[in-house]
Amino acid sequence: MPKDYYSVLGVQKGASEEDIKKAYRKAAHQHHPDKGGDQEKFKEVNEAYQVLGNREKKQQYDQYGQTFEDAGRNGGGAGGFGGNPFGNQGFDVNFEDLGGFGDIFSQFFGGGGGGRSRTSARERNRGSDLQIDMLISFKEMVFGAKREVSLNRNRTCTRCKGNLAEPGTKIVTCGTCKGSGVVRQQVRTILGTMVQEAECSDCHGEGKKAEAKCKECHGEGRTRQLETLVIKIPAGIENGTRIRIAGEGDAPKFGGSVGDLYIAVSVKEDKQFARQGFNIHTETHVPFVTAVLGGITNVNTVDGETEFEIPKGTQPGAEFRIIEKGIKHGATDRRGDQILKVLVDVPKKVSKRQEELLREFEEAGKKKGFFG
Ligand SMILES: [Zn+2]
Ligand SMILES: [Zn+2]
């Protein structure tokens, strides 16, 4: 179940933009880990504000109970590590909204702090984002779907958990760079010999390294892994939507944060059903006698065939609403309607007898003043 972002921030549904912002600042102060707050709670608060503080995402959330960007997230995922204190949740913190918090935050993100002035590969690296194109049927769009996909990706090494060290070995100061993370190289140029600084290739800029490299990944921190993921496609998804699943992309070499997986969803066109908002438009043909006198006709809905009563005197092109046979609204139980357009079939040929009856019908109408 998606979290209730409103209760995370302690505001009512329908709270103003300003109130949401205020509530966020208050909660962020309260739970800030640097002030002894709970980091999990802090993460939740930020996640909630990511959605409620963004007009477009808030609207999606209010309507579908989730945002499409994080729709398929199946919780967990491989552990992120390194510079990002929020792990692999994959959201950004809006510094501006935090008012006077800037300084604390830059420390939090490793911007301040003494010692090494360079960033290590782990702090800098981020694995590639991956994308899968997925074609779903109209009915899968209507009701939502679960699809399994197999991915052969670079994932965080399970033996060393991505810290590059053989489990049980000591982490020691790197001998090559003496803990500075950089090595100096003399380079000859036309201007003479110059000294260049480069990242130490033994410790990848960290200044320390394991005594023995992990046997599984040979110190790369990642291995190729074939996995099957279950992708949840929310009901009512629009054709062309990209779903982001944070932390399900590639893991980078030598540690760092894991990339995201994107699912680009296309919805197949359907011969009978057409979408308009959450309603489904269909057409049905009825003989002109049914249009005049009324009668039962069979109609296809996305739930299967159903009987529909055409009322007396139905005009060509008349539209009727079949309640709740439309598209599901995301995670809620609400559904749109089916709009049924009635096309009246006029016979191209009639028998002698039918013609006589129609003439008679016309005469009778004239006498009663029904026509003309
Ligand atoms: Zn490993
Ligand atoms: Zn080194």
- The predicted-structure confidence for 24-65, as pLDDT tens digits, reads as follows 988 888 888 777 778 788 888 888 888 888 888 888 788 777
Closest to 51 in 3D by CA, of 18, 12, 4, 19 = 4
Distance separating alpha carbons of residues 81 and 205, to the nearest angstrom: 16
Write out the two tokens for 327: 């598209």
Nearest ligand to the C-alpha of residue 217? 1
Give the other-Cβ count within 10 Å of 129's Cβ: 14
* The pLDDT of residue 278: 96
Determine the angle formed by the axes of helices 39-52 and 55-64, rounding to 10 degrees.
Answer: 100
The CATH number given to 274-368 is 2.60.260.20
Note whether 101 and 31 are within 8 A (CB). Answer: no
Q: Which long-range contacts (CB under 8 A, 24 or more apart) does 166-173 make?
A: 166/210, 166/211, 166/212, 166/213, 166/214, 166/215, 167/214, 169/210, 169/211, 169/212, 170/210, 170/211, 171/208, 171/209, 171/210, 171/211, 172/208, 172/209, 172/210, 172/211, 173/207, 173/208
How many Cα atoms within 13 Å fall on the side-chain side of residue 308? 26
Centroid of ligand 2 to alpha carbon of 120 (angstroms) = 10
Nearest ligand to the C-alpha of residue 184? 2
Centroid of ligand 2 to alpha carbon of 174 (angstroms) = 5
Which amino acid, one-letter code, is at 131? Q
Note whether 325 and 280 are within 8 A (CB). Answer: yes
Note whether 318 and 309 are within 8 A (CB). Answer: no
Centroid of ligand 1 to alpha carbon of 213 (angstroms) = 8
* The pLDDT of residue 111: 36
Centroid of ligand 2 to alpha carbon of 207 (angstroms) = 5
Alpha helices in 79-145, H assignment, sequence order: 102-108, 121-124, 138-143
* The pLDDT of residue 281: 98
| H or E element, residue 60 | helix 55-64
Nearest ligand to the C-alpha of residue 223? 1
Note whether 20 and 6 are within 8 A (CB). Answer: no
Centroid of ligand 1 to alpha carbon of 156 (angstroms) = 8
Task: Specify the residue for token string 């939740």.
Answer: 44
Low-confidence ranges of the chain (pLDDT < 70): 1-2, 66-118, 370-372
* The pLDDT of residue 2: 53
Please report, for the chain, the start and end positions of each structural domain, with discontinuous segments joined by +. Answer: 274-368
Distance separating alpha carbons of residues 227 and 176, to the nearest angstrom: 37
* The pLDDT of residue 366: 84
Note whether 199 and 180 are within 8 A (CB). Answer: no
